[in-house]
Structure 1
């Protein structure tokens, strides 16, 4: 992804957003709803992980899409296509959309902190 930030959000939070949409479909019919709770580069994510998990080291491997496409694992082509698409997005999606649908949406740092506390209480999960 280089220095292109990715829209981020918790799957659980986005699930809550989708539940609200499904419960009130008339408000959202024929609309494209773009969900994001933050924008981070892969380097930002690696730094955040590094700050929270002392026993692990994270880094941004800076793998070009052309190299990623050559990987031999199921789904590599689809992931490479997704990364290529995200690099074409010129304007960030508005963060207030997800927040208006589900007011408890977490930032990436909040989500990481929650994962850190789970790992500290149950080491079998980590």
Structure 2
């Protein structure tokens, strides 16, 4: 029996990497090599128990990263702008990984990319955590690494973390402080990404060279709020905040996220139909909210 092809997952203990690792381990079509800086952390131990080869490597340490990619058929790669808030660092991380994928002759890389907004808008708008990934996407292709970019929509999960609804002063309602106006916003449960990526690895000839915008559905903030209200029994509303007001909220990254929402208001290409083809069991927001009912009730 032939050995299974190895997929190296860079960022395996994060949200996206964890989803991909979990899905590949359950499917067993590929062998998983999970890359993390700390192999002793609980998430790494969980992957090891599930059957992954867990290896220590640092995105800034070329030697360890090279070893993690050596002998692999393919890789899933995710970088994290919000570790350092530097577009230049994130672009350099992606390019370093691209060079090593080229060196080791990987046959298929699935890169968690995004558009180079600064380039697309002729410099009118900069979204740094998009732009760095966009530069890396371009570099993968410049050096002819066989790559598919998955451009993942807003996580439904963000409504319980970085975009948690804010209780109003009277305590009667919860406001979704997201500056999208009445423009629908694409969304997806991050847990559903794994099956999408597995389908891409299973069909390399169809998807290598493609940019795939991943989204389960498009809803306005008002519609997201209505679903949260229906499921939780609480009252959620769209705050109707503007990007200009949002960027003055004072938290680290406020301006960056305001620019992201400005870009999302242009409705970038996210392909709901293709996403459902790649993962026929995707979770819509109502299903997600129902699965997190207690979390929304406990806000």
TM range (shorter): 0.7 to 0.9
Shift, 1:30, TM fit: 1.3
Residue pair 2:182, 2:220 contacting (<8 A) in 1 also: yes
Aligned to 1:47: 226
SS class of match (1:89): coil
After TM superposition, list the pairs within 5 Å mapping 1:39-78 onto structure 2: 39-54=218-233, 56-78=234-256
| Contact 1:36-1:98 within 8 A present in 2 as well | yes
Quote how far apart the aligned CAs of 1:18 are. 2.2
**2:5 maps to 1:5:** no
Q: Which has the higher contact order (CA 8 A, sep 6+)?
A: 1
Counterparts in 2 of 1:77 and 1:19: CA distance versus 1, 3 Å: farther
CA contact (8 A) 1:14 1:98 kept: no
Rounded to whole Å, the distance in 2 between the matches of 1:16 and 1:71 is: 36
Pair 1:85-2:233 in alignment: no
Measure the CA separation in 2 of the matches of 1:8 and 1:111: 11
Which has the larger share of helix? Answer: 1
In the alignment, the residues of structure 1 paired with residue 228 and residue 285 of structure 2 have an alpha-carbon distance, to the nearest angstrom, of 10
Greater radius of gyration (CA): 2
Aligned length: 119
What is the TM-score normalised by the length of structure 2?
0.37
Q: 1:77 to 1:18 in 2, by over 3 A?
A: farther
Segments of structure 2 that go 5 or more residues without pairing to the other structure are 1-179
- Matched residue, 1:38: 217
- Long gaps (5+) in structure 1: none
Q: Which runs of 4+ in 1 moved over 2 A?
A: 18-27
Q: State the alpha-carbon separation in 1 of the partners of residues 273 and 193 from structure 2.
A: 13
Cα deviation, 1:63-116, whole Å, max 9, x if unaligned, reads 1001111121112122111100011127x6332111111111011111112222
> Going by fraction, where is strand more abundant, 1 or 2?
2
Task: Report if the CA contact (8 A) 1:36-1:95 is conserved.
Answer: yes
User: Is 1:106 aligned to 2:283, yes or no?
Assistant: yes
TM-score under structure 1 normalisation?
0.82
Partner of 1:18: 197
Is this contact kept in 2: 1:4–1:87, CA < 8 A? yes
Question: Which secondary structure state, in structure 1, belongs to the residue aligned with residue 186 of structure 2?
Answer: strand
